[in-house]
Amino acid sequence: MILQYLPLCLVGINIAVGKVISQSVPVFLFANIRFVIAAAILVPMVFMQKDRKFSLDPKDWMLLFLQSLFGVFLFSIFMLYGVRYTSAISAGIITSTTPACIALIAIFFLKEKLNLYNSISIALAFLGITLISIDVEGIVSPNSANMFGNALILCAVISEALFTIFAKQVSTKLKPLQMTAIVNVFGFLLFIPFSIYSLMTTRIIITPRIWLLMIYYSLTASIFSFFLWFRGIADVPANIAGLFTVFMPISSAFVGIVFLHESFTTKQAVGMIFSIAAIYLGIRKPKESTSNLSLFD
């Protein structure tokens, strides 16, 4: 169980850390530096393993590439740009709706059946996201920066949901360390052309503090989080693993309030309650039928 708890706490904390870094370093360059650091550590570790051989068919490689495309490349872009325009607290709340997003993907693309728990979970997740995107007067402002940031975070959630689906399908063929290394190498390759463009078009000065934060982010987001999540998802049923998503809004809210000095509003508190309730209901399995999360089984 602790393997599912730690990576999601790190994700919540890194939402706030990424917000600080992305204000000083172009998103594409930051992402590539992150994966360069991670790959430089992970690839030698994989080759130093005694049992380092693995056998993958073209479908497996495609699944690994799709993992990286959605869970690494697109997730990083949406998340890092999103936190520029919205608070770390709001980003954490939206990110915690990942189980509900997985349910929607299963319904529309995998033809999974929608049960009562899933329906209420999706409704609560939608209410939570809508609530934190409403201004003080109670009117949704579609042109506001906050709304734009929240929309980007929601796109990150969709990417993360697809990442989880692809990861589960190939997790039995690779060790967690091997999968983590491959995903980071793919991430590095995907970001190369964009980071080169950033270097050529932007004058960048990175302070020692930002370098330390990027190293921390690389170690926690690209190595520890991936490794622990791959290790846990191979052993823990998806309906149980989904419960631990609750730690994302809590940890991101804590860091946002304590270190970024963000205010924690009443509507964010209610939105967090809706999101936590959505997580709880979304991972429940009715006795008479299989949950839509059975796509992982």
Bridge-partner residues for 140, per DSSP?
A: 134
Note the pLDDT of residue 256. Answer: 72
Angle at 268 between CA 8 and CA 291, to 5 degrees: 50
CA dist 290 and 115 (Å) reads: 9
Q: Answer with the residue of higher pLDDT: 104 or 185.
A: 185
Looking at residues 121-150, what average pLDDT do you find?
66
Q: Answer with the residue of higher pLDDT: 66 or 294.
A: 66
Three-state SS across 177-218? HHHHHHHHHHHHHHHHHHHHHHHHHCCCCCCHHHHHHHHHHH
**pLDDT higher than 50, residue 239:** no
92 and 12 Cβ atoms separated by less than 8 Å:
yes
Percent residues over pLDDT 90 in the chain? 15
Q: In the structure, what pLDDT confidence band is assigned to residue 53 with cuts at 50, 70 and 90?
A: confident
**pLDDT higher than 80, residue 275:** no
Least confident of 16-30, 112-126, 133-147, 157-171: 133-147
The model scores a pTM over 0.85: no
- List the beta strands (DSSP E) in 69-135: none
**pLDDT higher than 70, residue 258:** yes
Note the pLDDT of residue 244. Answer: 54
CA dist 293 and 297 (Å) reads: 8
Residues in contact with 112: Cβ distance below 8 Å, sequence separation at least 6, in sequence order? 103, 106, 292, 294, 295
| Mean pLDDT for the chain overall | 76
pLDDT digits (tens, 9 = 90+) for 190-213: 999 999 998 888 888 889 999 999
Note the pLDDT of residue 215. Answer: 92
Q: Answer with the residue of higher pLDDT: 275 or 135.
A: 275
**pLDDT higher than 70, residue 245:** no
Domain boundaries, the chain: 2-49+56-296
Number of neighbours of residue 43 by Cβ within 10 angstroms? 14
Note the pLDDT of residue 80. Answer: 85
Percent residues over pLDDT 70 in the chain? 72
**pLDDT higher than 90, residue 296:** no
Note the pLDDT of residue 191. Answer: 93
**pLDDT higher than 70, residue 157:** yes
pLDDT digits (tens, 9 = 90+) for 6-36: 555 666 677 778 888 988 899 899 989 989 9
